[in-house]
Amino acid sequence: MHQLKALIFDVDGTLADTERDGHRVAFNRAFAGAKLDWSWDVETYGVLLQVTGGKERIRYFIERFQPAFNVPADPDGFIRELHQSKTRHYVELLHSGAIPLRPGVERLLNEARSAGLRLGIATTTTPENVTTLLTATLGSQSIDWFDVIAAGDVVPEKKPAPDIFLYALREMHLSPAECMAFEDSENGLLSSIQAGLKTIVTVNGYTRNDKFDGAAIVLDQLGEPGSAFNVIAGNAGNANLVGVQLIKRLFET
């Protein structure tokens, strides 16, 4: 039996509900700034979320929903610049405090550190988005709580491919059998499971109807004292929030 050594977190939808009021809004601001009459409403964005990665999402949108769009001579450069503008808007939104951490995240990070567990991040989003979210919510010192921030284009294939979790494991010199992953989406869970990681899922508005076969447990949130999680699938015993004790129990099951 392996010992639990580290927790590896997804960011978007897991650490914070960033998609609807963060990334989506930033994409729309970038479109307006580029004089494009594209606007992603809440429902449309839910469909587009099936494609992970902002640049990939823009490309998919053009191909699927804007067949008549006059693609510039350098499509990659066009998408890259549009996405850079989106990142600037997103970072600005984070700095304004628009996106808080999800319930239980700060509590769990502190508890895990006190228990001697190492922390890592494996995400599809741009690295700057992660460090800005951490700085805006927990202070810039929190960046050092994580042994690795594996993000964005450092791997060839984004989630649902396992690449980003495998990269994080390599950087941490850990095997998947020594870690627990945290995810919020089907694409994220496919990625972590294919990397060999047991995974705790906390769903959000966009992912509650996703498939989570193979998750260690599926919950609506991590929970706080006085505000218990609801179990969607799996067995939490008598726990009502996700702490090191429950994580160890799920890890050993």
Select from 94-102, 119-127, 139-147, 197-205 the region that touches ligand XBP (CB under 6 A): 119-127
- Percent helix, strand and coil across the chain, each rounded to 5? 45, 15, 40
Judge whether 218 and 148 are in contact, CB under 8 Å.
Answer: no
Other Cβ atoms less than 10 A from the Cβ of 215: the count is: 22
Which of 28, 85, 129, 132 touches ligand XBP (CB under 6 A)? 129
Assess 188 for contact with Mg ion (CB under 5 A): yes
Active-site residue 12, yes or no?
yes
Assess 159 for contact with ligand XBP (CB under 6 A): yes
Judge whether 218 and 234 are in contact, CB under 8 Å.
Answer: yes
Distances (CA, A) of 187 to 34, 50, 79, 85: 30, 8, 23, 25
Which of 6, 7, 12, 229 touches Mg ion (CB under 5 A)? 12
Select from 143-151, 174-182, 187-195, 232-240 the region that touches Mg ion (CB under 5 A): 187-195
Contact letters for ligand XBP, residues 47-76 (x by CB under 6 A): -----xxx----------------------
Assess 13 for contact with ligand XBP (CB under 6 A): yes
Strand partners, 29: none
Active-site residue 21, yes or no?
no
Q: Are strands 231-233 and 217-219 parallel, antiparallel or unpaired?
A: antiparallel
Q: Which residue has the tokens 């060999």?
A: 196
Which stretches of the chain bind ligand XBP, using CB under 6 A?
10-13, 19, 23, 52-54, 123-126, 129, 159, 185, 187-188
Instruction: State the catalytic residues.
Output: 10, 12
